[in-house]
Amino acid sequence: MTREERKEAAVGYHAQGYNCCQSVLLACRDLTGMDEGMAVALGYGFGSGMHCGEVCGAATGGLMAIGACMPEGSLQINKPRARAAAQEFEGQFREQFGTLLCREILRSNGKRICDACISSGVDGVEQIAERVKRGDE
């Protein structure tokens, strides 16, 4: 699946009623190895910024997907790799939207911005996932 196809699929999941986190996780299943049921189940609690306007669901879904791409290895090796990958992802997301907080993103843009956040989340996973899998982070 190409990056554009994956982003389109993620936006399509959102249009079907999945929350932002679920939409990112579902679109990135081929990268993470998650099955559909697991992607949906993991994402339930993270829509609408954890249902209280906190961290955007597209960002949390992206972070979960990146974490799912971590290679097997020791905590001492993977923990700093995961931190570096998360910081890169979060930095890209903040650069695009000014914040990670759902309520602040929506305050400026309304719900129409959600699809852009979802696309950005998928884009960030695409950029980072393969490096994480190889242990390059």
**For 36-83, how does the pLDDT look when each residue is reduced to its tens digit (9 = 90+)?**
999 999 999 999 999 999 999 999 999 999 999 998 888 888 899 999
Q: Are 65 and 129 in contact (CB under 8 A)?
A: yes
Predicted TM-score (pTM) of the model is 0.95
- CB of 34 closer than 8 Å to CB of 68: yes
According to DSSP, the residues that pair with 101 across neighbouring strands are 55
Q: Which among 17, 94, 105, 98 is positioned nearest to 62, based on CA atoms?
A: 94
